[in-house]
């Protein structure tokens, strides 16, 4: 017998936290913490799409992400395409986060994104682009 699990009671905010701030004129920092999966992915996509309407370079800090599922990778690729189409830069901060770096390396996306171990370096990359 197949039993379904009702996850509607789980608050997405408990699993994913997204903080956005202006770090310099023309550059936005988005810090993502928690889990990026099928439940939280739509929330992350919505937040990043809201940011993407602002004409600015974007730094996404993934160093506090505990789990990065394929939907999260897809969202990052979508944002990269949108940033590039608008002539804006995207840099990712992964620090020494194995969950994120492993997902990026396994899929080859580590060769596609501009990855940094420090937020300051990612911001500098945006400013010099």
In a domain, 5, yes or no: no
In a domain, 93, yes or no: yes
What total of structural domains would you count in the chain?
Answer: 1
In a domain, 8, yes or no: no
Domain CATH code at residue 87: 3.30.750.24
In a domain, 9, yes or no: no
Per-position pLDDT tens, the chain of length 129? 445 444 444 455 678 999 999 998 899 999 999 999 999 999 999 999 888 778 899 999 999 999 999 999 999 999 999 999 999 999 999 999 999 999 999 999 999 999 999 999 999 999 998
CB 62 within 8 A of CB 93: yes
Q: Which neighbouring-strand residues pair with 64? A: 33
Q: Which residue has the tokens 């939907």?
A: 71
pTM: 0.89
**What is the extent of the structural domain holding 38?**
14-127
CB 122 within 8 A of CB 91: yes
Among residues 6, 55, 56, 69, the alpha carbon closest in space to that of 27 is found at 56
In a domain, 94, yes or no: yes
């Amino acid at each position: 017998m197949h039993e379904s699990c009702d996850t509607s009671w789980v608050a997405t905010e408990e699993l994913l936290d997204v903080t956005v701030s202006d770090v310099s004129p023309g550059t936005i920092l988005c810090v993502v913490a928690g889990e990026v999966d099928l439940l939280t992915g739509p929330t992350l996509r919505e937040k990043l799409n809201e940011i993407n309407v602002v004409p600015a370079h974007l730094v996404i800090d993934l160093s506090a992400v505990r789990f990065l599922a394929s939907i999260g990778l897809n969202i990052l690729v979508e944002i990269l395409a949108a940033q590039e189409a608008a002539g804006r830069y995207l840099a990712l901060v992964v620090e020494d986060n194995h969950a994120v770096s492993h997902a990026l390396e396994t899929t080859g996306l580590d060769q596609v994104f501009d990855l940094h171990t420090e937020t300051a370096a990612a911001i500098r990359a945006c400013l010099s682009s």
